[in-house]
Chains A and B, each alone.
Chain A
Amino acid sequence: MAESICRALRDGALEGEHAPALSIKDSIVSPFGSDVFHHFLVQLSSSILSGKSQSRGIVLVAYSRSPSFYVELLRGKGLDVHSSVNWIRILDCFSDPLGWKIRLTGPGSREDSDVAILYNDVKDSGRLLMSIVKLGKGLMQDTKGCFSVAFDSLSEMVRHASAQPVAHMISSLRSNGEISSAFWMLHTDVVEEKVASIFDYLSSMVALVEPLIPSSQGPRLTLDNLAGTDENMRKARFLARLKRRNGRVRLLQEELRLDCSGLTFASLGDNVPITGGGLVPKVQFNLQLSEKEQVDRANVVLPFEHQGNGKPIEIYDGRQSLTDRKLEVALIREEMTQTSELTTGEILYIRDSDDEMPDSDEDPDDDLDI
């Protein structure tokens, strides 16, 4: 499933369409957002180097880590940053985002490496946009190619420049014909909910990292949730929402595992259904009977002759049931015989005796006078 996201980033944009954009979100309870970001960065970089992707280069805007970290990360995965082919540029917004160091030490004190370029005006998102596009064009070396853009921490960006200019920048990047794909990472608990929903709106794929075992009591570590917290530090649930071209949404989930070798994705053993069923109103036709209803149904005395259970025929006619009457009569008779030898009058009731048996010759309709 993470494979399908990698594939979407690799395949890039179709002619006339906005570039696909991936938004990776995490929170403090499962802080794997950066690891997921690095994973996708490495995957896309290897596709670029092997020539399998639409984009021929990547511009990484580094806010939360220094460029040297990324160089080391990529080198560790076997991807050489300083290779003969120019394929990556890192815009360094980490070392001196607001330009204070340059003001103190003076311009020209810091040299850019060929890969990492210093940027020190993070409050101006328009200028940032122009720098990104310029770096990308430099990577393409004026040939007709596309490049990808990655932002390692959009929550940092939004801290410096507010949400609307950043949104404007991202939508301009997406509609720029030279950009093949874009992805970014966002911590949901340090930004407002509205900001998170703005970037959900602007992205075509939303990936959310959630704890596998929901923590019950929060920060209090008891024996019960200690094991759970331990699990949550190594594993997480990875939920993705992919907006497809036909207008439908593909919902996927996987288990994320972090160990010394890196990040791996595995399918979730328990097939927890991803809610799509909440969209349609539930209809109240209940065709199955509950237990109580079944028992009640068995207890209903039907107004038919044969109850089908071998018992003698009992018809409830508003008076006491016949067996009870017979028992009563028998009891009374016993009492009476005990008390006196006289047999007093009995009421002999024969069921349906008050109904006249119609003669076969008679036509009951003869009585009618029409």
Chain B
Amino acid sequence: MAAAAAPTLTRPRVSSFSRSTQLSGLSIPLPPGIRTGPNSTAFVSSGIPTLDAILGGGYCLGSLVMVMEDPDAPHHMLLLRSFMSQGIVHDQPLLYASPAEEPRRFLGTLPSPACSTADKSPRRDREEDKGLRIAWQYKKYFDETHQSISSRKDNEIEYSSDFDLRKPLQRQFISGRKIECISILKNSDLAAFHDRCGVFLNQHARKEGSILGACRISIQSFCAPQCEYFNQEWQVLSFLRSLRSMVKSSNSVAVLTFSPSLLPPSSLKRWQHLADILISVRAIPDDDKDMAKLLTGYQDMVGLLNIHKIARPNVQVPFILDATMFSMKLQKRKYLIMECLNQAPVDGSGGSSYAASGTGSCSSASKTGPLDF
């Protein structure tokens, strides 16, 4: 890059236009695990590469992600685990809160990143073979970019790792990292929890030095019925509002899971409007022959994921997804991937439009309607 810059400086200017030489990188070096996107947005990975691709890069820094649970299935835990593991792997400070008595025990269930070399190299060869078959005369260009990608990957830690859900995270990752675990079971009000979040964010944002110190906050089953603050609707809402502002000002990401069936409908609407990214997970029935006929890959499916809302902070144009409903699958029984639903065509109900039937048959608990901002 410096070599490219030098000729432009020594060559006499012929026109008033000069080529920008800032293509290589920003003046501030990025810490690992943060990627910049268009319109100067920065992303951190969710821990699931396919979900990052769907969301357009990952979770935007400064956003509050809300995951609506299905009381019938623990799929929100998969999202939380991947998010937390990714933060630990990238050495990003992590705060975890849950209604369990001993939240520290949950760290033992976090997945470990898959062995990079064994699984990745056959994939790369396959890609190269594909290049050969499809466009042989362009192979020389393809190879160049490929080499640059591979060399870059060897030097840096990957932005998004594949997590092996069967292998727990090794102890050396957890000990010595900045991980804080809080139990919110016995909090009669949320003031103490709110203060701890504030302290955590201030502490770590300052330590990093640069503006882009990304912290991760994960809150599991917020407003679970066994928590003492369960009935305090307005306190909970004001906590969420201030969490959102804290996260935005400290450029961190917070992922919060809750069960929509436990909230009164007006509260639920308010919570949903506070979210920057709103995702819901749903369980699927077991041994359902109709579903097996309808969807390919039903055997590997674990559940359904619905994306209700994606925020793009610096842009006025909304980010419109190709599809909002995805299936959560376990590839090789280890890796969690999100896939578009492959449906067999069925007799559609005449008259109603796709959009109406789509939102109508979506999770009845959400009842969000069109929430694309």
Contacts and interface: CB of A to CB of B under 8 A. Distances in A.
Given A248-B286, A249-B283, A172 B74 contact: no
B357 A282 contact: yes
Interface string A277-300: 111111111111000000000000
A57 B51 CA distance: 47
Given A200-B261, A248-B73, A281 B361 contact: yes
A334 B240 CA distance: 93
A170 B224 CA distance: 12
B361 A280 contact: yes
A132 interface: no
B343 interface: yes
B282 A282 contact: no
Interface in A142-173: 163-164, 167-168, 170-172
A198 B262 contact: yes
Contacts of A288: 347
Contact of A164 (B228, B282, B287): B228
Contacts of A279: 282, 284, 291, 304, 361, 363
Most chain-A Cβ atoms within 10 A of its Cβ — which of B288, B341, B349? B288
B72 A243 contact: yes
A316 interface: no
B346 A276 contact: no
A168 B227 CA distance: 7
A168 B288 contact: no
Interface in B342-373: 343, 345-350, 354, 357-358, 361-364
A283 B228 contact: no
Interface in A292-336: none
Contacts of B354: 281, 283-284
Interface residues of B, number: 50
Nearest to B71: A201
Contacts of B181: none
A284 B259 CA distance: 31
A241 B363 CA distance: 17
Contacts of B99: 171
Interface in A200-217: 200-202
A194 interface: yes
A307 to B, nearest CB: 30
Given A276-B290, A278-B361, A248 B225 contact: no
Contacts of A276: 284-285, 288, 290-291
Most chain-B Cβ atoms within 10 A of its Cβ — which of A163, A278, A280, A283? A280
Nearest to B229: A164
Interface string B10-36: 000000000000000000000000000
A202 B225 contact: yes
Given A164-B230, A201-B259, A277 B101 contact: no
B286 A250 contact: yes
Contacts of A286: 345, 347-348, 350
A277 B264 contact: no
Contact of B264 (A172, A194, A285): A194
B226 A168 contact: yes
A247 interface: yes
Contact of A197 (B262, B288, B295): B262
Contact of A247 (B231, B259, B283, B358): B283
B87 interface: no
Contacts of B291: 276-277, 279-280
Please classify the interface of chain A as helix (H, G, I), strand (E, B), loop, or mixed, using the class held by over half of its residues: mixed
Please classify the interface of chain B as helix (H, G, I), strand (E, B), loop, or mixed, using the class held by over half of its residues: loop
B325 interface: yes
A246 interface: yes
A244 interface: yes
A51 B288 CA distance: 35
B114 interface: no
Interface string A220-260: 00000000000000000000010110111111000000000
Contacts of B348: 282-286
Given A276-B291, A284-B354, A200 B71 contact: yes
Nearest to A167: B225
A168 B361 CA distance: 33
Contacts of A277: 288, 290-291, 294
B237 interface: no
Nearest to A284: B348
B262 A250 contact: no
Contacts of B274: none
A141 B228 CA distance: 33
A360 to B, nearest CB: 45
A175 interface: yes
A241 B72 contact: yes
B262 A194 contact: yes
A200 B71 CA distance: 7
A273 interface: yes
B346 A285 contact: yes
Nearest to B345: A285
Nearest to A193: B261
A251 B225 contact: no
Contact of B362 (A244, A273, A281): A281
B229 to A, nearest CB: 9
Given A171-B99, A197-B262, A247-B73, 10 more contacts: A164-B231, A194-B262, A197-B71, A201-B71, A247-B283, A274-B285, A279-B284, A281-B325, A284-B354, A285-B345
17 contacts: A163-B225, A164-B225, A164-B226, A164-B228, A170-B226, A171-B99, A175-B101, A201-B224, A202-B225, A247-B73, A247-B74, A276-B285, A279-B282, A280-B341, A281-B325, A286-B350, A287-B347
Interface of A: 163-164, 167-168, 170-172, 175, 194, 197-198, 200-202, 241, 243-244, 246-251, 273-274, 276-288
> 8 nearest interchain CB pairs?
A285-B345, A284-B348, A276-B285, A167-B225, A248-B286, A281-B358, A171-B226, A168-B226
